Each structure stands twice: as C-alpha cells, then as structure tokens.
Amino acid sequence: MQGAATSSTASPVLEASPKLLLIGGKWQAAQSGETIETRNPSTGEIVGHFQSGKAADVDLAVAAARAAFEGHWSKTTPFQRQELLLKWAHLIDAHFEELTWLDVLEMGVPISVALTRRQRVIGMIRFYAGLATALHGETIDNSMPGEFSSFTLKEPLGVVGAIIPWNGPLVAAVWKIAPALATGCTMVLKPSEEASLTVIRLAELLQEAGMPDGVLNVVTGYGHEAGAALAAHKDVDKIAFTGSTATGRRLVEASAGNFKRLSLELGGKSPNIVFADANFETAVPGAAMAVFANTGQICSAGTRLFVEAPIYEEFCARVAEFGRKLVVGNSASAETQVGPLVSTRQLEVVQRYFDAGAREGAVALSGGERLYGAQFENGNFVAPTVFTHVRDDMAIAREEIFGPVISALPFSNMEEVVARANASEFGLGSGVWTQNLGTAHKMARAMRAGVVWINCYQAGDPAVPFGGYKESGYGRESGIEHMHEFLQTKSVWINLNG
C-alpha cells in the first residue's frame, strides 16, 4: 500500500453558476441550454459546470474569429500583439496560484507539482511575444533573365481551431494560444470536457489584458460534438490538436473538406533505454518519474523501460522501490507526489491493462492495483506500477495506457534495442541513460522519435521544438518552428524594368 497524503492546503471557492462560452468578446450560454459537470478526481465531488457547446455555437465562434481576423486584428502591429501577450503573462503571473488550483481540483495534478510550472507557463508566453516582432520573410536572389526582384512575406494563416487535452490544461492552452496570437491569427479553442475551468479563466485574463473581441473564442463541450464541428468547419484555416492518435486520424479525414492545415501532437509509447554503465543515482529516479509524473498521464511518458541484461533485475527492483515510496493521495495536499487518474473512465482503462499484463504473463514487481482505504475513498487512485517479464508483443508494451505503468524489458546490445525501440507505430519521445559519449551520440541519431533525452527525461524549453514521428503526429510545438505552423509563405516577384 502506498503512502497517503492527509493534510491539505486551502483551495479557492468555486462559483456555483455554470461557466459560459466566450464568443465575439461576449460570455454566453450554449444554444442547447445544456451544461457539463466536472468532478474532482481525488474526491469525486462536483467542482463546477460549464456549457455543452455544439455545432451552432462553433459556427458563431468561427464567424466571430473570421470577423476579427479580417477586421481589427489584421490591422494590429507586431508590437501591439507582443504588448498584449506580455500583459497577459503579467496577469497570469499575478493569478498563478488560482490557475494552478483549478488544474489541481479539475484534473488532479498535485499542488506541489502544479506550483512548479510558473516559469514554464510565463516563459512560453514571453518567448512567443518576443518572436512576434521577429517574424520576417527573405530577399532571394533569382536567375530570371532581365531584372527581377524576388522576396517572401510571412502572413498569418487566419482562423485557427485549437483542441487541447485534459492532462495539463494550463500549459496546453498557453501552448496553443500564445503562438497563434503572436503570428496574427485568431482562434476558436475547444478544451477537454474533462477539464475546462482553467482555460475559461485564462480567457478572462486575456480579455483583462486588452484582447480585442473575437480574437480568442472558447467553446466548451464534448469532442464528438463541438470538437468534430470545429475540425470539419470550412471557414477554419488550421487545426492545432493535442490528443490521441485515434482522434488525430479522424481530424485528418475531417480536414479534407477545405484542405485545412493540421498540426497534430498525438500519442506515444516512448522507449526509455538504460545501459549497464548508467549512473543509478540519476537513472533510477529518472526512469521512475518518466512515467509516474502526472500519474503517467503524459503523451511522451517513457513507459517502455529497456534495461541492459546485466543490470535488469537490480535496476527494476530499485525503480519499483522508488515507486513504492512515492506519496499517493489527494492532489490538494502539499505532501502528495502522485495524484489520481483524471476520471473513473480512465481508472477503468488502467485497470484493464493491469489485468491484461497479468493475463499475458507479466509480473507486477510493484503496484498493479487500485488503491483502497479511507484516504482513497471516491478517488481514482492506482499504485505506481512496474511490470517485469514483459515481452514486446504484450498489450502493456505496445499500447498507450496513460497511467503510472512501466513495462520493463531486458536487452543485450545496442543494435537489438534500437530495432526493438523503433518497432512501434509511435515516435514521440525517447530516453537514453549512459555515461559513454559515443553511445549517447549513436543512440541520438538512431532513435526514430521527435525527442531524444539523454541522461534526463521530459526536459523542455520554449525555444526547443517538440513533436513526433510516425503516428505520434506531425508539426512542432515550441521553437521558431512552432510559429511557422501558423504562417503562410507568399512569394513576390517584381519586374524592375516595368
């Protein structure tokens, strides 16, 4: 049985009235009159309600975004867009504790973890704000006979539909909104039906910063209703999506109506590879928290733990022991290190994988069970889990679980582990633990993944691109490449001889 956090710090009092949609600068109810309740995954208690937007609401929001894009927003200067984002960053900084509590109460991230994200969130906005005034085309020499000047312009795509997941609403929303606004696009944002309160508060603060009407519109609702309508809308120029690979496939199909641009950050089953010469003092906690952080609800979690055969038994035992010592409990407690799964539905998914692992012959060295007892009553808690005796063909080694579940597999040499690690339809993250510089460089080039972490895991910075290979999606977030996802390139030719 895992340790449980019992003491808690004060959390904000939430409003009883349902939160509204933001369309064209006005907060309004969904036309259906329906609302969605959101629950605290630590306790099962209802923490709020928001609107259940549908296609009709999406139509209004897209129209508002189009009017803003072709109207007042298109006339703003890069400096004005930069200034708006910096004011927003200042307000988020001032209200950061409030925003983190919304993430805590709605999706279950531990408060001790949520409070550490200030620099990441504020840093992202300031990074994109800085780039707002640095976007430019190029003057290009050409070989046309006569005298011709040629250059390019970088122009905003237009109306962006953004769809974000529930596993980190604060970070995910900022990651979509800031670059879109910095480039001069407008947006309709559809947060997850599991976690929308943080996003609504972010939009309120953006209004307070001086955002013109219609630049950001927020339509809460279910994915198969509001999300599907946004994806298929013919007046949306781009969809920026983070979520499952299955939903990503449907978005590709929906985009065919007007050939809208897509950027997709999808699922993963990331390999985390530990060589025999790895430093155990860093590799053990690194491998554990590559999966147990955020209760395993991270798309790039290093859930396939490949360990070189000579150290396999000892290393797995130490990772399992590390997981057993983590404090699992109510995310509102300052002592909690691992919170609940986001919903009873996700709890059922993880429990099915526990059963599948045992049925196929894997051994739960630690965990592998739901947690019960007074401190876990009505919450969606499972123990951090390490499965050994795992084969590559097992479901727990092939499929994304989205829970705190490590599948540990032994390997014999570099060539073997590269082949096995890359034998996946996913290619989002990967990790390598070694003290050999040559091994590190060879592995960095060999991995078929968008990110390779060496002697670390989940390191991130707004300046460094993030994204996937294969069925983990395409397009990049963070870095200058992220800005280009929201821009068109226009070529201009001028005959200098008239």
Beta carbons of 205 and 218 less than 8 angstroms apart = no
373 φ/ψ sector (left φ>0, alpha ψ -120 to 50, else beta): left
Which residue do the tokens 């209760």 mark? 295
Q: How far is CA 209 from the centre of its chain?
A: 25
Q: Cβ–Cβ contacts within 10 Å for residue 297, how many?
A: 24
Q: Structure tokens of 86?
A: 């910096």
How are strands ordered across the β-sheet holding 21-23?
26-28, 21-23, 216-218, 186-190, 159-163, 238-242, 261-265, 473-474
| Residue 158 β-bridge partners | none
The amino acid that residue 387 corresponds to is F
| Residue 265 β-bridge partners | 242, 473
- Across 255-398, the runs of DSSP E, i.e. the strands, are 261-265, 271-274, 304-308, 363-366, 385-388
| Cα distances (angstroms) measured from residue 213 to each of 29, 175, 325 | 17, 21, 50
Residue 400 backbone dihedrals phi, psi, to 5 degrees = -75, 125
Which residue is catalytic, options 193, 194, 225, 299? 299
Beta carbons of 425 and 448 less than 8 angstroms apart = no
Return all residues near 53 (Cβ < 8 A) that are at least 6 apart: 21, 30, 32, 190, 219, 220, 221, 225, 226
Element (H, E) at 148: strand 148-156
How far apart are the C-alpha atoms of 300 and 319, rounded to whole Å? Answer: 19
Return all residues near 51 (Cβ < 8 A) that are at least 6 apart: 18, 19, 20, 21, 29, 30, 34, 35, 36, 57, 219, 220, 221
How far apart are the C-alpha atoms of 276 and 412, rounded to whole Å? Answer: 10
Number of H helices, E strands in the chain: 16, 20
| Residue 19 β-bridge partners | 50
Question: Is 316 a known active-site residue?
Answer: no
3-state secondary structure of 92: helix
Which residue is catalytic, options 106, 194, 225, 265? 265
Question: Is 225 a known active-site residue?
Answer: no
Residue 134 backbone dihedrals phi, psi, to 5 degrees = -110, 5
Beta carbons of 86 and 129 less than 8 angstroms apart = yes
Q: How far is CA 357 from the centre of its chain?
A: 27
Q: Tell me the catalytic residues.
A: 265, 299
